Structure 1
Amino acid sequence: MDTDDALDLAYEPAPDPHTPDTFHLTLPHGIRLSCRAAGAVDAPQRVLLLHGFPEAAFVWDEVIAALAPQARCLAPNLRGYEHSSAPAAVEAYRAKHLVADLVALIEHLGAPIDVLVAHDWGGGVAWNLAALRPELVRQLVIVNSPHPGALLRELRDNPAQQAASDYMHELIQPQAASRLAANDFALLFDKLSRFGQARWLTPALRQRYRAVWACGLDGALNYYRASPLRPPSAADASIHTLQLPPSVVNVSVPTRMLWGEADQALLPCLLDGLEQWVPQLQVERVPGASHWIVHEEPARVVETICQALADAQAATVGR
């Protein structure tokens, strides 16, 4: 059976070449993802781009428009976001389920994909996918998203990173969604500014964020609720006994990390010692860029992805 025949495809063509196509994919295991895409379906290379919190697939629009002449680019809204499926159960946001979504997407695109690009929580899922199913990805590009081994170490042992990550405790509370939505999403807009100066946050972009957040926030917050990786507190100090098996931390996929050094939520200490888990690693630090580097320096992000695409092509030709 052709891959598309196994998927419920609701397709809306782009009104002009600079606007991504939008459509829905219903994956074989029942999760429906709203997606944005650009580039020829039969392009020789394929790129999958994953957003983080509290963002959505639209944050990649400028990047995928630049890449479209050379690659098929797909940016899904992850489960729990925008018009994608948002299961109510916290357990539905455990890593194994999020990875299953990625596996199905990659099989739809045509495995292996050339480059998997991921930021923030999208990176948390991408690290797991690259560790568990390395045959599905030729190159990995991580943008300000900590490797789980380094995050565990710093949350357990580093008071500075514990303090920087303390906001996680707010996000797992039962009433977090209503608090974040109050007063025209004031706390969420504050978070976008708190982790960087957010000069990029134009009125038009604010409206795009509002539209996504109005679809519901609990699905996105369930990523934090389902994860054991959070700083210790009086109510929960389990981080001190948590162990991550080698199968989820050892990444053999060639990896580039693009890291805004002015990120106030994820400190530079998270880059220390990564070679023990990711032997084929290149780290590019960007002074002055914040956690929101995808908005701040899209050309830099595009350049890094293009380098990964070239490496993927060279490795394929060399076989």
Structure 2
Amino acid sequence: MTRDPSAPGPSAAVRDVTLGSLIFRVTDTGPPRGRPVLLLHGFPQTSWCWRHVVPALATAGHRVLTLDQRGYSPGACPEAVEDYAGEHLVSDVTGILDVLGIESVDLVGHDWGAAVAWQVAGYHPERVTTLTAISVPHPGAFMEALASDPDQQARSAYLADFATPGYERALLADDAAGLRSLFGDETAVDVDHVLSRLGTETQLRPALNWYAAQSARRALATPHSSVPTLHIWSDADPALGAYGARTTHRYVTGPYRLVTLRDVGHWIPEAAPQQTADLVSAHLTQH
């Protein structure tokens, strides 16, 4: 393990975690004996999206772990689409916890990271102390929304495009105009960092494989969350409407709380980092 001078927060160090043929980049911040919190990023970002959340959690005494997930860590980008199926994304998380010697973790995910977190909590509740899902509802609630809610159907029209082989070329054309447009007017997002990591077709293709590899059948089969669960949703999110947020409670059997952030877009960890950190801290304190 070596110190990472660009990593946010006190006592931050970066290490490579090897799982089979894949090498994941993991950043470890805060007191080593602190309560472990694992933050999972979404598309098209890396663990850098948590840079303003990490210091607050670490200062509160937590050991905060972030990783660049499969398709984002340079040493963990397999070529086959099927290598990005949900069961692999889940096993990445549990495998990393095994290597780090962590039995149970407070799991926080945004966007695709939230989708993975829901599955980890559902299939492996013994490994999750608490769950915080940001933006994305429970997979079952999301599939219900896609099946019955015209608003969500319209918001999710892009999913088919993202799953189409070669769509990385469309997103990167004209100085990555399509990729840039995903962030709208959200100035808090570090778009330059995104482009430095996903700005070529070779870099972007693995991240898009997440969309091509996912299964509606697996999403519908995701077990209900039995762990204490916090769901943070924002009412100005262009990709995720109210239906999934308001339906998720039916897919949670443990303690559950929904918090709606007003006038905040999709990129919550960067657009509202202090609110995010405060809500996660309060959730951990309560449970």
| Same structural fold, with TM-score higher than 0.5 when normalized by the shorter chain | yes
RMSD between aligned residues: 1.9
The answer to whether the aligner puts 1:199 opposite 2:200 as a matched pair is no
Between the aligned partners of 1:222 and 1:168, the Cα distance in structure 2 is 12
What SS is found at the alignment partner of 1:62?
coil
State the match for 1:302 in structure 2.
277
State the match for 2:224 in structure 1.
250
What SS is found at the alignment partner of 2:72?
coil
Deviation of 1:73 (Å) = 0.8
Deviation of 1:181 (Å) = 2.0
For residue 176 of structure 1, the aligned residue among 167, 174, 185 is: 167
Between the aligned partners of 1:137 and 1:89, the Cα distance in structure 2 is 29
List gaps (5 residues or longer) in structure 1. Answer: 1-10, 230-241, 313-319
What SS is found at the alignment partner of 1:249?
coil
Between the aligned partners of 1:276 and 1:185, the Cα distance in structure 2 is 39
Whether the 8 Å CA contact 1:36–1:76 is kept in 2: the answer is: yes
- What amino acid does structure 2 have at the position aligned with 1:99? V
State the match for 1:44 in structure 2.
34
Between the aligned partners of 1:82 and 1:178, the Cα distance in structure 2 is 21
State the match for 2:15 in structure 1.
23
For residue 228 of structure 1, the aligned residue among 215, 226, 229 is: 215
Whether the 8 Å CA contact 1:25–1:33 is kept in 2: the answer is: yes
Whether the 8 Å CA contact 1:31–1:101 is kept in 2: the answer is: no
- What amino acid does structure 1 have at the position aligned with 2:210? Y
Deviation of 1:256 (Å) = 0.4
Of the structure 1 ranges 116-125 and 64-73, higher mean CA displacement relative to structure 2 is found in 64-73
Of the structure 1 ranges 120-129 and 109-118, higher mean CA displacement relative to structure 2 is found in 109-118
Deviation of 1:250 (Å) = 1.2
Deviation of 1:147 (Å) = 0.9
The normalised TM-score by structure 1 is 0.83
Alpha carbons of 1:273 and 1:15: their partners in 2 closer, same or farther (altered >3 Å)? closer
Alpha carbons of 1:244 and 1:144: their partners in 2 closer, same or farther (altered >3 Å)? closer
For residue 90 of structure 1, the aligned residue among 81, 89, 93 is: 81
Q: Deviations over 1:188-247 (max 9, x none)?
A: 110111xxx30324xxx2321111113601111011001134xxxxxxxxxxxx58565x
The normalised TM-score by structure 2 is 0.91
The answer to whether the aligner puts 1:284 opposite 2:263 as a matched pair is no
Between the aligned partners of 1:281 and 1:304, the Cα distance in structure 2 is 13
The answer to whether the aligner puts 1:155 opposite 2:129 as a matched pair is no
The answer to whether the aligner puts 1:271 opposite 2:258 as a matched pair is no
Structure number with greater Rg is 1
- What amino acid does structure 1 have at the position aligned with 2:197? V
Deviation of 1:65 (Å) = 1.5
The answer to whether the aligner puts 1:214 opposite 2:199 as a matched pair is yes
Deviation of 1:264 (Å) = 0.8
Whether the 8 Å CA contact 1:112–1:138 is kept in 2: the answer is: no
Alpha carbons of 1:277 and 1:18: their partners in 2 closer, same or farther (altered >3 Å)? closer
Deviation of 1:160 (Å) = 1.4
List gaps (5 residues or longer) in structure 2. Answer: none
Of the structure 1 ranges 29-38 and 13-22, higher mean CA displacement relative to structure 2 is found in 13-22
Alpha carbons of 1:297 and 1:245: their partners in 2 closer, same or farther (altered >3 Å)? closer
Between the aligned partners of 2:286 and 2:62, the Cα distance in structure 1 is 14
Count of aligned pairs: 281
State the match for 1:239 in structure 2.
none
Percent identity of paired positions between Structure 1 and Structure 2: 31
Deviation of 1:115 (Å) = 1.1
What SS is found at the alignment partner of 1:305?
helix
Could you list the runs of 4 or more consecutive aligned residues of structure 1 that deviate by over 4 angstroms after TM superposition?
Answer: 242-246
Between the aligned partners of 1:55 and 1:38, the Cα distance in structure 2 is 19
Between the aligned partners of 2:121 and 2:67, the Cα distance in structure 1 is 18
For residue 166 of structure 1, the aligned residue among 134, 137, 157 is: 157
Deviation of 1:285 (Å) = 0.6
What SS is found at the alignment partner of 1:68?
helix
Alpha carbons of 1:227 and 1:114: their partners in 2 closer, same or farther (altered >3 Å)? closer
- What amino acid does structure 1 have at the position aligned with 2:26? C
